[in-house]
Amino acid sequence: MSFCYNPLNSARIFLLALGIVSSGGLSALAQEVDPNTSFRNARAPAQVPTARYASGEAVDLALIIEEWRDRFPQTPVYACACLEATCDSSAIWPFRQFTRYQPLVALGPTNAATNERQGFNCFDIETGADPT
């Protein structure tokens, strides 16, 4: 699968995260993650979007979604937005704090629900469903 950067997709993810009206880490449980066994990551671990994002680099969330789609094609991805003055995700991926309306993505409903307990509002980017 090749990736062609599309700024409209990035903007869509960002706007979806900001437009949440219903009521977020990375500790994916085995029962919700179905890894793609044919996935071959040719990049060094520090170069993958999730690692770069966790280290504080500004990474397009669409790249993280693409990485997760390659590795875990059956696991839903959630768009989340911080609804509090600050949302503390420093103990879990991506290991940082967010301010109101900053977007984040989560892999699987367990991670999205964890993010919601930290002050985020999350929804499945394909179905619009809540993580619970």
Return per-residue pLDDT of the chain as tens, 132 residues: 444 444 434 434 443 443 332 333 333 333 344 555 555 555 566 689 999 999 889 999 999 999 999 999 999 999 999 999 999 999 889 999 999 999 999 999 999 999 999 999 999 999 999 998
Structural domain contains residue 108:
yes
Number of domains in the chain: 1
Residue 75 lies inside a defined structural domain of this protein: yes
Does residue 62 form part of some domain?
Answer: yes
pLDDT for position 16: 41
- Of 117, 109, 116, nearest to 28 by C-alpha is 109
The answer to the question of residue 92 being in a domain is yes
The pLDDT assigned to 132 comes to: 82
Closest CA to 108 of 81, 130, 80, 78: 78
Distance between CA atoms of residues 103 and 64, nearest Å: 13
The amino acid sitting at 66 is E
In a domain, 131, yes or no: no
In a domain, 34, yes or no: no
Dihedral sign, Cα of residue 73, residue 24, residue 22, residue 109 = positive
Q: Is position 37 within any domain?
A: no
Look at residue 111 and tell me if it is in a domain. Answer: yes
Q: Which domain does 46 fall in, by range? A: 7-29+42-124
